[in-house]
């Protein structure tokens, strides 16, 4: 369980201060797929980075399974972070390492035996549908395949939580859908809690159970996705829902996606 309480973030600089987050409160239950949606500058990246303390909140608490992260020593925090994987819009793969070596990297860092690494990476390659790409380098892969490698690497050490920072934003609609299907499969098969940020309501609709709508650093609405979509309470949510008509899958029939399976693309 992830719990954020009274969390605020103020960026201070010579150029001026920015109140990026204001009094954020929410709970993500174990096994949930929780989406945070908002327009550019709403504070989404700051918020998701506060969950693993890549960004330290100015005020407030971040608890994971009732452990308050802001009070931990750096060694304790490193241990907690082993349970949190993260994926990014730009994949962050190591270009000098092939697919196998990229996925193996976090396992090498924790000192796993070579034979165990081989077995674990093989398993992860199957999970993300890239068994035949082990020796390819990132430059030889499509965006969707790169994101699959990044997902496999993020799952390598068996985390309980996966944070997704706009992981599908750089992808075309069909590839994006296949990555979202993969995240859903991972959530269901491995019971991993997923927190994702996005600027697209369509992404929220496709995979999330619950959503928080973030505007100018504040949560203006939160709840079950079905409820927020069917009965939005805040004008900003309506605005985001309204903008869906101009977004990605407008021209693709919905039943098309039911045939898109992990590994097909
Ligand atoms: N390191 C920083 N120093 C100062 N201000 C920052 C810093 N990082 C972010 N900000 C400011 O905080 C606010 C929230 O930024 P953030 O990147 O969290 O928003 P976002 O919703 O993720 O935006 P986008 O979708 O465009 O990435 C913005 O006004 C941004 O300019």
User: CATH number of the domain that 16 lies in?
Assistant: 3.40.50.300
Please indicate, yes or no, if residue 142 is contained in any of the structural domains.
Answer: no
Residue 154 lies in a domain: no
Residue list, ligand 1 pocket, CB within 6 Å:
11, 13, 18, 20, 38, 40-46, 199
What does the pLDDT look like over 191-242, one tens digit per residue? 999 999 999 999 999 999 999 999 999 999 999 999 999 999 999 999 999 8
Give the three-class secondary structure for 92. coil
**pLDDT one-digit tens code per residue, 5-48:** 999 999 998 989 999 999 999 999 999 999 999 999 999 999 99
Nearest-CA residue for atom 14 of ligand 1: 43
Distance of alpha carbon 227 from its chain centroid, rounded?
22
Q: Is there a domain that residue 36 lies in?
A: yes
Nearest residue (by CA) to ligand 1, atom 6, is 11
Q: Does residue 244 lie in a domain region?
A: yes
Cβ–Cβ < 8 Å for 89, 166: yes
What is the rounded end-to-end Cα distance, in angstroms, of the chain? 33
CB 58 within 8 A of CB 10: yes
Tens digit of pLDDT for each residue in 77-117? 999 998 999 999 999 999 999 999 999 999 999 999 999 99
- Given ligand 1 and candidates 8, 36, 37, 43, which is best to mutate, with the most ligand atoms within 8 Å of its CB? 43
pLDDT at 252 over 50: no
210 CA distance to ligand 1 centroid (A)? Answer: 23
The alpha carbon of 36 and the centre of ligand 1 are apart by a number of angstroms equal to: 15
pLDDT of residue 262: 38
> What is the DSSP track for 174-216?
HHHHHHHHHHHHHHHHH--EEEEEES-HHHHHHH-SEEEEEET
Taking the CB of residue 198, how many other CB atoms lie within 10 A of it?
25
pLDDT classification of 249: cutoffs 50, 70, 90 = very low
Is residue 9 included in any domain, yes or no? yes
Q: Which among 46, 51, 201 is the best mutation to test ligand 1's pocket, defined by most ligand atoms within 8 Å of the CB? A: 46
The DSSP-derived string for 53-78 is: TSS--SEEEEEETTEEGGGS-HHHHH
pLDDT at 244: 57
Q: How far is the CA of 138 from the centre of ligand 1 (A)?
A: 28
Q: Does residue 187 fall inside a structural domain?
A: no
CA of 43 to the centre of ligand 1 (A): 6
> What's the domain range around 31?
1-83+162-171+193-250
* Residue nearest atom 28 in ligand 1 by C-alpha distance: 41
Residue 99 lies in a domain: no
Q: Measure 88 CA to ligand 1 centroid, in angstroms.
A: 15
What is the tally of structural domains in the chain?
Answer: 1
Tell the residue number behind the tokens 């979202």, with chain if given.
Answer: 180
Q: How many CB atoms lie within 10 A of CB 94?
A: 12
Which of 16, 18, 22, 51 for mutating ligand 1's site (highest number of atoms within 8 Å of CB)? 18
Does residue 38 form part of some domain? yes
Which amino acid residue places its CA nearest to atom 24 of ligand 1? 40
Instruction: State the closest ligand 1 atom to the C-alpha of 12, by its place in the atom list counted from 1.
Output: 4
- Which residue's alpha carbon is at the smallest distance from atom 16 of ligand 1? 43
ipTM of the complex: 0.97
Mutate to test the pocket of ligand 1, among 10, 14, 20, 201 (most ligand atoms within 8 A of CB): 20
**Helix runs in 33-162, H state only:** 44-51, 74-81, 99-109, 114-127, 143-155
- Other CB atoms within a 10 A radius of the CB of residue 85 amount to 26
């Amino acid at each position: 369980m992830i719990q954020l309480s009274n969390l605020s973030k103020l960026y201070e600089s010579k150029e001026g201060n920015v109140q990026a987050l204001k009094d954020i409160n929410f709970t993500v239950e174990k096994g949930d797929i929780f989406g945070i949606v908002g327009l550019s500058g709403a504070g989404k990246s700051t918020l998701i980075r506060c969950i693993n303390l890549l960004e330290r909140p100015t005020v407030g608490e971040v608890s994971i399974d009732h452990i308050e992260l802001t009070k931990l020593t750096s060694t304790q925090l490193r241990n907690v972070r082993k349970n949190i994987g993260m994926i990014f819009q730009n994949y962050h793969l190591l270009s000098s390492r092939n697919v196998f070596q990229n996925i193996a990297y976090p396992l090498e860092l924790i000192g796993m035996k070579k034979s165990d690494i081989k077995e674990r990476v093989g398993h992860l390659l199957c999970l993300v549908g890239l068994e035949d790409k082990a020796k390819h380098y990132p430059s030889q892969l499509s965006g969707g395949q790169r994101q699959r490698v990044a997902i496999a690497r993020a799952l390598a050490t068996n985390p309980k939580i996966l944070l997704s920072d706009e992981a599908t934003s750089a992808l075309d609609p069909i590839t994006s859908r296949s990555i979202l299907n993969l995240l859903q499969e991972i959530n269901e098969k491995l019971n991993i809690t997923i927190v994702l940020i996005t600027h697209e309501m369509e992404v929220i609709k496709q995979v999330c159970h619950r959503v928080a709508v973030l505007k100018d650093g504040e949560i203006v609405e939160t709840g079950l996705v079905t409820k927020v979509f069917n009965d939005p309470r805040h004008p900003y949510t309506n605005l985001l829902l309204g903008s869906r008509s101009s977004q990605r899958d407008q021209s693709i029939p919905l039943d098309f996606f039911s045939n898109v399976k992990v590994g097909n693309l």
